[in-house]
Structure 1
Amino acid sequence: MVTIKRLLLPGFCLCVLMSLTTFSGSSIGLEPTVKYFRSGAQGFAVATEALQSAVQAIKKDDSASVIMARQQLKNCRLQYKKIEFFLEYFLKSSSLIYNSPAKTEIEEPYMEYQEPVGMQVMEALLYEDDVAEHKSELLEQVNVINSSAEDLLSLLYGFTADDKQILESLRIELIRIYTLGISGFDAPLLKSGIPESYEALNAVKVVLAPYLDKRARYADSVAYYLDKSLQFLQAGKDFDTFDRLRFLQLYALPLQRTFGYMIKDMQLVHNTTGGVLNYNAEDLFSKDAINIDAFPSNAATDTIETFPLSGVAATPGLYKFIAEDAFASYGTTVNAALIRLGKMLFHETALSGNNKISCATCHRPEKHFTDGLANSVAFDGHSHVKRNAPSLLYSGFQYGQFWEGRTKSLEEQALDVIHNPTEMNGDIAKVLTLPAYAVLFKQVFPDSSMKAEKVAVALAAFVRSLNPRNSPFDQYMGGDTMVMNAAQKRGFNLFMGKAQCGTCHFAPLFNGLVPPLYQLTELEVLGTPKNEDLAKPLADDDKGRFDVFPISYYEQAFKTPTVRNVSATGPYMHNGAFTTLENVVEFYNKGGGSGIGLATPTQTLSSVPLQLTKEEVADVTAFMRALEDSLP
């Protein structure tokens, strides 16, 4: 298990990384790619030296020295982006030193801590009220960055890679640009996301040159959309006003599509994402871009999983159940009969202890699979459960279930709810004795006897099928440009830009599934109040994931849900505190719990106000209404 101390020792990292990043295979792109990386790495090292000098020059009550340090950090980030595709793909451990989120990460089940390190940490410190007070911390960070950057070239000793690997590193970088780059995820305070995206995309162009020179099929189209995308990024450098929707629709997504066609035609498709990314999909916003079959259906007990404070990560399942009779593998495609059985069970009141409650009681299809209550009614019929019932739509695209991510799969979640005395207080055996189900179970599971766990398998299969992706936004991205109005278009650009919504609710699912690999689900500490009055907020007593693992960084940590269908699934937040979308956005606008005066020491949401106007808040909510699906 890697600890932060090991990350801070460059010599140790080099030895380990060399053993992990030696590849074999021939490549027409290897030599030019390595040459480009050498040049970029040297440029990055020089930039870290300049940043180091700027930090050393910071003086108390000297705003000019702080501004200079921020400018040097921005330049350092631009240099890093030139080599990001290479570091993130071939030298992943090294990239963690430079550009990790400024949040403490916790590796479960061993509960080892990884303190934040790198440029994102420096950005946060450089925007504190008194930067000079943090000079020693800044120096510690920049010294680590600089010493590691100076050793980067030694990582190339004996390095080889083939065309498939190089091209996959570039296609993943495109997703990184489209989701994290233009949203400002890496540098929300510097607001340098657009020029950073330009540098990252220009690196793609340089590395692709030998492939395009081969005059491969689709090469002309790739070159055209590359140039157009770069021109658009260069012309729209201002972060807050950049037209992300137009960029994606006219240039970026066509580039992704034609690049995919070219790779496929050259027979150089390579997928190291465990099947999470579907390279047969047209583009990132296609319905099948992220493969639901790659998410845990029932986590194997021998996998080591990590749960950073910024996410719940698990080794992706391949729709494989535990190799016991009850969870026998039924392949990678959920068949229609299993889904039909799951839908029947979803509405089956016999699953509850009083024969009155079904899954559909709290997840009503006509209400987009929630119940419209701040807290759902409990089994006794008059009290309420602890938290709000989230919509089940798109819930299969997660690595943890429930608000605090306490179960790893939908199967485990179903069993938890059915057996919970405050929810359904049920006995699955009762359903298994009903004659109608005996026939159905035999049809779906012909190879084994009926067991309670199979009810969970069927329920989970039905829930995984709840992915309509037919909202006005989806139709717009599919080519119907008349379906969204001007406010909704402005709202998307704000959502992915100034409002910073897209830095937690990641495209294309707009939940906490982190791009570009989509292999972990985020939890965040927002400081959500108990009430809706932001002028007189009351502290909430729900400790979130802390109740699962009682460590301070988990206090009030909750999973980031999708905002798809959010206009139809209020009230909002884990406790149903907010009744309107406008109030939710205003809570974020003010800087979360810390911003409205609540003591939230481990808040992961920035407490810096977003400075959204009333009109901008309205536009953001207008866009979220464009994410509402039509249900049968």
Structure 2
Amino acid sequence: MRLSVIVVSLLLLIICAYSIFELKSNDTLAVNSTRQWYHQSVDNLDKKVDLLCKALSEHQSAEAVQHAFKETRLAYKKIELVIEFYHPYTAQFMNGAGKETQNFQALETTIFPVLQPDRAYTEVRKLKSVMGRLEKESEVIQPTDAQLFDAMRLELVRIMSLGLSGFDSPQAGNSLPEAIASLDGINEIWKFYVPKVSIYNPALVKYMDELMLASKARLQTEKDFNRDQFVTEYVNNLAINLKMAREALRIPYDNQQYILDPAASNIFARNAILPLYSSPDTTTVTNDPVYNVNGQRYTARYLHSLLRQNSALNSYVRGK
């Protein structure tokens, strides 16, 4: 009898030890899989930029150039969450906005609504030169589980403030397809964590997958699209699910102070927004979408400013 108990106990210990080893391996697998996916996606973006350069150098039709541009920025949007989080200064060179307009933003104005081939070619060559910098940076990226969950959450805010508002695609009018591409990027990284999350909360995985599909389907229905409703019913719930998954996996939060609190369930949570360097301003920009967050009004442009500051701050913290 005692021998049987000892044997059973040993078997249970072996099973537990194997399970712990497997879960730790899954942590490494998710990070490594993300790194591999990112390298491949950067290569894909570079190929799209080459095709756009080719379309302009060969004097292809305006429709062909516009299509190539849209395909290129969709490829960028799919990995935007990683670029913005790990390479914020390169991201500014690639997709800067406002007074800092350059590359994608500047290129868009030379292609839409009327193609200006010479100016467009000058701008796309600038974009190609920045791609070399991005490729080098992507080779040395060292993500962690905590950082990847932060990056996914921040991308949801970016979709809300830049994508759905039209702020990031004023001339091409391709905001909703670009938002879908951004969601695809989040989903690619999320899938690497699904096997482990399924152990702790399979219902959450099922709901997350259903919500992601429903979100993209809603974005494909441009007729009667309601931005505020989408943020409330989809973006908000996706953010909550990511927080629940992170906590199920026991991925810790650090003690650093970020402009967008990583521990907040979503941007609408109390004290989620920490305006360290800016103050809310809804008066300087007209026709700028306004979001009401816990009684405070934030413009899409202000949220964009927060995201830029947050990326720079995160980059500084990682470099310490």
TM-score bracket relative to the smaller structure: 0.7 to 0.9
Q: Deviations over 1:290-314 (max 9, x none)?
A: 13xx53xxxxxxxxxxxxxxxxxx4
Task: Tell me the residue number matched to 2:149.
Answer: 167
Question: Which structure 2 residues correspond to residues 57-72 of structure 1 after superposition, within 5 A?
Answer: 57-58=58-59, 65-72=61-68
Aligned counterparts of 2:134 and 2:251: Cα–Cα separation in 1: 28
Aligned counterparts of 1:118 and 1:192: Cα–Cα separation in 2: 17
Out of 73, 77, 82, the residue aligned to residue 78 of structure 2 is: 82
Q: Deviations over 1:353-406 (max 9, x none)?
A: xxxxxxxxxxxxxxxxxxxxxxxxxxxxxxxxxxxxxxxxxxxx44x9xx89xx
Residues 1:229 and 1:183: Cα distance change in structure 2 (over 3 Å): farther
Residues 1:519 and 1:155: Cα distance change in structure 2 (over 3 Å): closer
Out of 204, 224, 233, the residue aligned to residue 216 of structure 2 is: 233
For residue 214 of structure 2, give the secondary structure of its aligned residue in structure 1.
Answer: helix
The reply on whether 1:121 has 2:106 as its aligned counterpart is yes
Checking the alignment, whether the CA contact within 8 Å between 1:181 and 1:197 is kept in structure 2 is: yes
Checking the alignment, whether the CA contact within 8 Å between 1:194 and 1:233 is kept in structure 2 is: no
Q: 1:78 deviation in Å?
A: 0.5
Aligned counterparts of 1:289 and 1:48: Cα–Cα separation in 2: 37
Out of 175, 182, 189, the residue aligned to residue 207 of structure 1 is: 189
Out of 93, 96, 113, the residue aligned to residue 92 of structure 2 is: 96
Aligned counterparts of 1:213 and 1:282: Cα–Cα separation in 2: 22
Out of 483, 501, 510, the residue aligned to residue 298 of structure 2 is: 510
Checking the alignment, whether the CA contact within 8 Å between 2:208 and 2:238 is kept in structure 1 is: yes
**What do you get for the CA RMSD once the two structures are aligned?**
3.1
What is the TM-score normalised by the length of structure 2?
A: 0.74
Greater shift, 141-150 or 241-250, is seen at: 241-250
Q: 1:194 deviation in Å?
A: 1.3
Out of 271, 274, 291, the residue aligned to residue 257 of structure 2 is: 274
Equivalent position amino acid for 1:76 in 2: T
Q: Tell me, which stretches of 5 or more residues in structure 1 are unaligned?
A: 1-25, 60-64, 106-115, 296-313, 317-396, 405-498, 521-632
Task: Tell me the residue number matched to 1:46.
Answer: 47
The reply on whether 1:186 has 2:171 as its aligned counterpart is no
Checking the alignment, whether the CA contact within 8 Å between 1:194 and 1:236 is kept in structure 2 is: yes
Q: 1:256 deviation in Å?
A: 0.8
For residue 143 of structure 2, give the secondary structure of its aligned residue in structure 1.
Answer: coil
Between the two structures, name the one with larger relative contact order (CA 8 Å, sep ≥ 6).
2
For residue 515 of structure 1, give the secondary structure of its aligned residue in structure 2.
Answer: helix
Q: 1:222 deviation in Å?
A: 4.7
The reply on whether 1:257 has 2:257 as its aligned counterpart is no
Q: 1:77 deviation in Å?
A: 0.7
Aligned counterparts of 2:105 and 2:305: Cα–Cα separation in 1: 18
Checking the alignment, whether the CA contact within 8 Å between 2:48 and 2:75 is kept in structure 1 is: yes
Residues 1:38 and 1:158: Cα distance change in structure 2 (over 3 Å): closer
Q: Deviations over 1:135-161 (max 9, x none)?
A: 332112101212332553332344322
Aligned counterparts of 2:256 and 2:308: Cα–Cα separation in 1: 8
Residues 1:286 and 1:151: Cα distance change in structure 2 (over 3 Å): closer
Task: Tell me the residue number matched to 1:147.
Answer: 129
Q: 1:31 deviation in Å?
A: 0.9
Checking the alignment, whether the CA contact within 8 Å between 1:194 and 1:237 is kept in structure 2 is: yes
Question: Which structure 2 residues correspond to residues 7-406 of structure 1 after superposition, within 5 A?
Answer: 27-58=28-59, 65-101=61-97, 103-105=98-100, 116-127=101-112, 131-132=115-116, 135-150=117-132, 152-214=134-196, 215=198, 217-218=200-201, 220-237=203-220, 239=222, 241-270=224-253, 274-291=257-274, 294-295=275-276, 314=277, 397-398=279-280
Q: Deviations over 1:62-102 (max 9, x none)?
A: xxx2222221111111000111111111112221222111x
Out of 498, 501, 505, the residue aligned to residue 288 of structure 2 is: 501
Indicate the structure (1 or 2) with the bigger Cα radius of gyration: 1
Q: Deviations over 1:496-550 (max 9, x none)?
A: xxx9532xx4664333523374566xxxxxxxxxxxxxxxxxxxxxxxxxxxxxx
Equivalent position amino acid for 1:186 in 2: D
Checking the alignment, whether the CA contact within 8 Å between 1:226 and 1:255 is kept in structure 2 is: no
Residues 1:92 and 1:275: Cα distance change in structure 2 (over 3 Å): closer
Checking the alignment, whether the CA contact within 8 Å between 1:229 and 1:247 is kept in structure 2 is: no
Q: Deviations over 1:409-442 (max 9, x none)?
A: xxxxxxxxxxxxxxxxxxxxxxxxxxxxxxxxxx
Aligned counterparts of 1:179 and 1:81: Cα–Cα separation in 2: 14
Q: 1:269 deviation in Å?
A: 4.0
Residues 1:100 and 1:68: Cα distance change in structure 2 (over 3 Å): same
Paired residues, what number?
A: 277
Checking the alignment, whether the CA contact within 8 Å between 2:187 and 2:212 is kept in structure 1 is: no
Q: Identity rate of aligned residues, in percent?
A: 19
Q: Tell me, which stretches of 5 or more residues in structure 2 are unaligned?
A: 1-26, 310-320
Aligned counterparts of 1:500 and 1:519: Cα–Cα separation in 2: 21
Aligned counterparts of 1:184 and 1:254: Cα–Cα separation in 2: 22
Checking the alignment, whether the CA contact within 8 Å between 2:39 and 2:139 is kept in structure 1 is: no
Residues 1:159 and 1:281: Cα distance change in structure 2 (over 3 Å): closer
For residue 172 of structure 2, give the secondary structure of its aligned residue in structure 1.
Answer: coil
Checking the alignment, whether the CA contact within 8 Å between 1:51 and 1:142 is kept in structure 2 is: yes
Checking the alignment, whether the CA contact within 8 Å between 1:167 and 1:263 is kept in structure 2 is: yes
Name the one with the larger helix percent: 2
Q: 1:40 deviation in Å?
A: 0.9
Aligned counterparts of 1:516 and 1:30: Cα–Cα separation in 2: 29
Q: 1:176 deviation in Å?
A: 1.0
Q: 1:205 deviation in Å?
A: 1.3
